[in-house]
Amino acid sequence: MIRSLSPVTAGGGLSLSEQVALCARHDFQGLEISIEAAQSLGLEAAQQLFTENGVAPVTFGLPVEWRKDDEAFENGLAKLPEQAEFAAKLGVLNCCTWVLPDGNAPASEYAERSLERFTKIARIFAPLDIRFGLEFLGPKMFRKTENIWFYDIAGALEATDEVNARIGKTTVGLLLDSWHWYAGGGTLMDLASCPLDQMVHVHVNDAPKGVALDDLVDNVRELPAATGEIDIAGFISTLSALGYDGAVSVETFSAELNALSPDEAAARASEAMKKILV
């Protein structure tokens, strides 16, 4: 597996060039990127940046605002073919987005609107062999009404299967985050139910010590294996047994890490990753 860094853990305020250099200094093999930031450098310069530092761009965040009104969605969608083509040339063939369980609308309405938009996005990605990962959000804090679409692996796979059926190709899968898996009450058997070809990207982290599932706050997380609340060894070994060998990014929302310099935070994150990915 590829040890990767999410900029929310360290280096979020840095330029793309600085983030890549940060990864190289702290032995991260991959980086989650903004495709807009890469485009601003130009293709040749971006390729050179990653090659010279020995770091791979492993995934990019979806640059389309699909959660808002039709105008915002269509404006973003119009730019996506050019962005996707750039990403494919750069060699970053995974794109991910997070999906709230509750869309402030009846679940059926929220689901159909989202599926329709995901299908349009996936049809742009499919010819370029870019995989599109949906991240389910597990904490109960996101389930405030009865209008719940999905918040776990089983529900997320139903959504991805529907989009794949609509486009006639399996390019849509999951971003598997150990935090959301744990917070949503997931088990290793649930994790093992995810087909390998629908594992797009992986995040790892840990939960605060002694906090009940229902009381978890999404932006309060620990580095992987810091507390042992999340069975990260079981999580990683299950992915390995299924054949996953892609990128695993450390994604930790931590006031303690935020108080450190980017290098100090990256060093601590790198140390944690080397303990779980041997």
5-22 b/e with 16+ CB inside 10 Å = b?
Answer: bbbbbbbeeeebeebbbb
**pLDDT, tens digit only, all 278 positions of the chain:** 999 999 999 999 999 999 999 999 999 999 999 999 999 999 999 999 999 999 999 999 999 999 999 999 999 999 999 999 999 999 999 999 999 999 888 999 999 999 999 999 999 999 999 999 999 999 999 998 989 999 999 999 999 999 999 999 999 999 999 999 999 999 999 999 999 999 999 999 999 999 999 999 999 999 999 999 999 999 999 999 999 999 999 999 999 999 999 999 999 999 999 999 97
> CA 269 → CA 25, 69, 91, 117, 120, distances in Å?
12, 37, 25, 35, 36
d(CA 232, CA 36): 32
Q: What is the model's pLDDT at position 30? A: 98
- Rounded to the nearest 5°, which phi and psi values hold at 277? -120, 90
What pLDDT is attached to residue 104? 85
Q: Answer for the pair 79, 127: CB distance below 8 angstroms, yes or no.
A: no
Give the SS3 label for residue 186: coil
203, 175 contact by CB (below 8 A): yes
Query: Can you read off the two tokens belonging to residue 206?
Result: 């840990």
Q: In order of start, what are the domains of the chain with their CATH numbers?
A: 2-276 (3.20.20.150)
**Local structure of 33: helix, strand or coil:** strand
Q: Tell me, yes or no, if the pTM score tops 0.95.
A: yes
Q: Which two tokens stand for residue 119?
A: 């299908």
Contact 264, 238 (CB under 8 A): no
pLDDT for residue 237 = 97
Residue corresponding to tokens 């200094």: 25
Helix, strand, or coil here: 133?
strand
User: What pLDDT is recorded for position 278?
Assistant: 72
At how many degrees (to 10) do helices 153-167 and 107-125 cross?
A: 50
User: Is the distance from CB of 116 to CB of 72 less than 8 angstroms?
Assistant: no
CA 250 distance to own-chain centroid: 10
CA–CA distance, 64 with 261 (Å, rounded to integer): 31
Residue 132's DSSP bridge partners are: 95, 172
d(CA 12, CA 6) in angstroms, rounded, equals 8
Alpha-carbon distance values, 46 to 11, 88, 132, 138 (Å): 18, 13, 22, 35
* The predicted structure's pLDDT at residue 65: 97
